[in-house]
């Protein structure tokens, strides 16, 4: 197929996407050939197109490299690809108008429309996401979900050097700011030309709704404040979370904790994460009920989970918010030094917060409050309630919102490392990492390992280790002493 036919087919898809009309074809084709370094268009037909836009863009990028418009590296290809895919994406005002039109019929139709645009234009990197490895792990708390994250491509060393030499800009202020919408990108900052944000009003404040480019689960979305301000858990957080699931009842939504160690990767911009996915924690049962006498319409209980979770359910949003805020404020100032649980240290630094998650459960609003503590000690310098060193060979990063709910996001290094562990277990030639040897020896001593079951043994063990990771992050341990401590806190409510 000629490059002219590729351009014409691509513009046919762009017109079909809803942002342009047939009258715009010549204009659009000339824009595209300019971007890829062509000067003319040969005769070609306007025809039905069944090839996805992302495959046509691959061809256009190769032509741009051939014409020396861009270098053959990930950064320059990403920037040009986003510019090309921008033609596949209606302007923000049009996307928001369509979203509102669909929403007036059904919220699911609205998110389906926005999600399709975000995948069709390759803002959501579906091909990269598909490279990640997923497997379940049966545990005492239900079936956990394990992911080895291979979605983000590694940069070429030359690109890393170039990025380090580039002057840091204060625009956009961060990766979650509204200013990212339509931003071209640069060596040390991702391309966002094809990025769109749905505007939302949450209790009188301006917020944005977008999808995550490297989604960890179905329809992984981000709801972000228009104002660039630090994350903070307050009563307003619970109000916003319940408002979001009122507006998008088919989604869950939650917030990372707002303190270092137990918080997420971006604490500088107030935001929440949501999506259309059922996490293991959502189906975990309540093992102990709690009576909150001041909030008679709220049902409360402790969830059977490796971390310390209080679940609240009710139809009355206001009373649910008040109950959640009561527990949160009590936890902020609650200490149990016998269990190394200390709310504030001598320097008046706050150490207690929560990871809150909201969802709809039939006609009930549901709020899970996961108790968090970010203290450190001489024994546990990375965090008392953080993965301890004996499990850090699998997971040593912060335990954020997604992991809290039972979905492990494990580092890409494990893809190769676990293969070497398998070779080691089978007594075959290997280059096993030193920090995996003790674990591998334990598996050798306790498991009957064969070529047929080695992968299953390793994956189940990784799931067991992730369970331990969550237990390490739990402030009240699952032993008698820990559960007695949890009871003391409940009585303090």
Instruction: Look at residue 10 and tell me whether its pLDDT is greater than 90.
Output: yes
Residue 158 has pLDDT above 80, yes or no: no
Range of the domain at 250: 134-407+476-492
Compute CA 399 distance to the chain's CA centroid, rounded to the nearest angstrom. 12
* Same domain (yes/no): 255, 309: yes
Residue 151 pLDDT exceeds 70: yes
| Any domain includes 263 | yes
10: left (phi over 0), alpha (psi -120 to 50) or beta: alpha
Same-domain status, 23 and 51: yes
Q: Are residues 113 and 221 in the same domain?
A: no
Q: Has residue 470 been placed in a domain?
A: no
Query: Is the residue at 412 inside a domain?
Result: no
DSSP per residue over 283-301, as a string? HPPEEEEE--TT-TT-EEE
- What residues contact 308, with CB distance under 8 A and at least 6 apart? 302, 370, 371, 474, 475, 476, 486
98 assigned to some structural domain: yes
Residue 218 burial by Cβ neighbours in a 10 Å radius (0-12, 13-18, 19+):
exposed
- Residue that terminates a domain, selected from 120, 151, 172: 120
Q: Judge if 147 and 287 occupy the same domain.
A: yes
Number of structural domains (the chain) is 2
Lowest average pLDDT, out of 112-121, 263-272, 437-446, goes to 263-272
pLDDT exceeds cutoff 80 at 330? yes
Share of the chain above pLDDT 90, in %: 93
Residue 256 shares a structural domain with residue 359: yes
Same-domain pairing of 342 and 213 = yes
Clarify whether residues 180 and 61 are in a common domain: no
Query: What is the average per-residue pLDDT within 9-26?
Result: 96
Residue 458 lies in a domain: no
Mention every residue, 6+ apart, whose C-beta is less than 8 A from residue 5: 44, 45
Q: Are 493 and 292 in contact (CB under 8 A)?
A: yes
CA gap 62, 81 in Å, rounded:
11
At 165 the pLDDT is 61
Same domain assignment for residues 99 and 25: yes
* Structural domain includes residue 201: yes
Global pTM reads 0.94
| Sheet strands (E) in 279-389 | 286-290, 299-303, 309-314, 352-361, 364-373
Q: Please indicate, yes or no, if residue 426 is contained in any of the structural domains.
A: no
62-81 residue pLDDT tens? 999 999 999 999 999 999 99
Q: Same domain, yes or no, for 265 and 188? A: yes
Cis status of the peptide bond prior to 303, with omega within 30 of 0: no
**Is the domain of 139 the same as that of 111?**
no
User: Does the residue 322 lie in any domain?
Assistant: yes
> Does 291 share its domain with 331?
yes
Segment among 128-142, 246-260, 261-275, 373-387 with least mean pLDDT: 261-275
Residue after which a domain boundary falls, among 95, 120, 145 = 120
| Residues 140 and 116 grouped into a single domain | no
pLDDT value of residue 1? 84
Please state, rounded to an integer, the average pLDDT across all residues of the chain.
95
Which of 120, 143, 172 terminates a domain? The answer is: 120
């Amino acid at each position: 197929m000629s490059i002219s036919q590729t351009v014409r087919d691509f513009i046919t898809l762009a017109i079909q996407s809803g942002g342009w009309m047939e009258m715009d074809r010549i204009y659009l084709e000339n824009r595209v050939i300019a971007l890829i370094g062509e000067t003319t268009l040969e005769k070609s037909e306007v025809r039905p197109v069944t090839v996805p836009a992302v495959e046509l863009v691959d061809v256009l990028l190769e032509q741009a490299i051939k014409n020396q418009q861009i270098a053959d590296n990930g950064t320059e290809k990403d920037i040009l690809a986003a510019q090309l895919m921008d033609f596949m994406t209606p302007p923000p005002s049009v996307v928001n108008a369509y979203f509102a039109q669909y929403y007036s019929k059904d919220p699911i139709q609205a998110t389906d429309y926005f999600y399709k645009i975000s995948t069709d234009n390759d803002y959501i990197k579906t091909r990269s996401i598909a490279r990640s490895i997923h497997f379940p792990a049966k545990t005492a708390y239900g079936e956990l979900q394990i992911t080895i994250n291979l979605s983000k491509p590694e940069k070429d060393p030359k690109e890393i050097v170039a990025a380090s030499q580039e002057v840091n800009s204060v625009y956009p202020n961060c990766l979650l700011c509204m200013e990212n919408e339509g931003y071209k990108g640069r060596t040390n900052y991702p391309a966002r030309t094809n990025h769109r944000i749905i505007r939302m009003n949450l209790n009188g404040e301006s917020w944005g709704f977008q999808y995550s480019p490297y989604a960890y689960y179905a329809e992984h979305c981000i709801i972000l404040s228009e104002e660039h301000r630090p994350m903070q858990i307050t009563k307003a957080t619970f109000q916003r979370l319940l408002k979001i699931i009122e507006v998008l009842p088919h989604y869950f939504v939650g917030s990372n904790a707002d303190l270092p160690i137990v918080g997420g990767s971006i604490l500088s911009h107030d935001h929440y994460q949501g999506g259309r996915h059922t996490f293991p924690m959502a189906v975990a049962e309540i093992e102990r009920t709690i009576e909150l006498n001041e909030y008679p319409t709220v049902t409360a209980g402790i969830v059977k989970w490796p971390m310390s979770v209080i679940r609240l359910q009710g139809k009355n949003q206001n009373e649910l918010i008040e109950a959640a805020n009561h527990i949160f404020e009590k936890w902020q100032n609650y200490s149990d030094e016998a269990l190394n649980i200390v709310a504030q240290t001598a320097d008046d630094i706050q150490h207690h917060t929560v990871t809150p998650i909201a969802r709809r459960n039939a006609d009930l609003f549901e709020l899970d409050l996961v108790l968090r503590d970010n203290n450190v000690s001489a024994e546990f310098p990375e965090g008392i309630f953080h993965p301890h060193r004996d499990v850090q060979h699998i997971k040593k990063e912060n335990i954020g919102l997604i992991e809290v709910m039972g979905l492990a996001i494990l580092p890409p290094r494990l893809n190769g490392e676990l293969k070497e562990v398998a070779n080691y277990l089978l007594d075959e030639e290997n280059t096993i990492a030193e920090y995996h040897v003790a674990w591998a020896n334990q598996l050798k001593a306790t498991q009957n390992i064969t070529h047929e079951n080695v992968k299953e043994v390793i994956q189940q063990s990784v799931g067991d280790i992730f369970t331990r990771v969550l237990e390490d992050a739990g402030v009240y341990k699952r032993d008698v002493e820990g559960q007695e401590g949890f009871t003391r806190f409940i009585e303090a409510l």
